[in-house]
Amino acid sequence: MTSHSSHKQNGEFAPLSLIIYNITHCITMKIQMSVRKTTKAEKKEFMIGFLVLVTIVLIFKWVF
């Protein structure tokens, strides 16, 4: 996460990283909830959330 702080100096990327942070935070909250009470539907939701998270990370690495 050390490379993350250097991007904050770049003003134009600040909103993008904030959006990505909010999305990942929402996914993390959903994962924590689905871990507590896991049904088949929530397992599917967890997998979708995980794939979205991985995609965001890959896009984030590709952009920077």
Residue 7 lies in a domain: no
pTM metric for this prediction: 0.36
Task: Give the tens place of pLDDT for each residue, 7-50.
Answer: 445 555 567 778 888 888 888 888 777 666 666 766 787 788 88
Residue 3 lies in a domain: no
Residue 53 lies in a domain: yes
Q: What is the tally of structural domains in the chain?
A: 1
Q: CA angle 36-32-59, nearest 5°? A: 145
- pLDDT value at position 7? 47
Residue 55 lies in a domain: yes
Residue 2 lies in a domain: no
Domain that holds residue 38: 12-63
Over 60: is that where the pLDDT of 1 sits? no
Q: Contact 8/17 with Cβ under 8 angstroms?
A: yes
Residue 30 lies in a domain: yes
Tell which phi-psi region holds residue 10, choosing left (phi > 0), alpha (psi between -120 and 50) or beta: beta
Residue 58 lies in a domain: yes
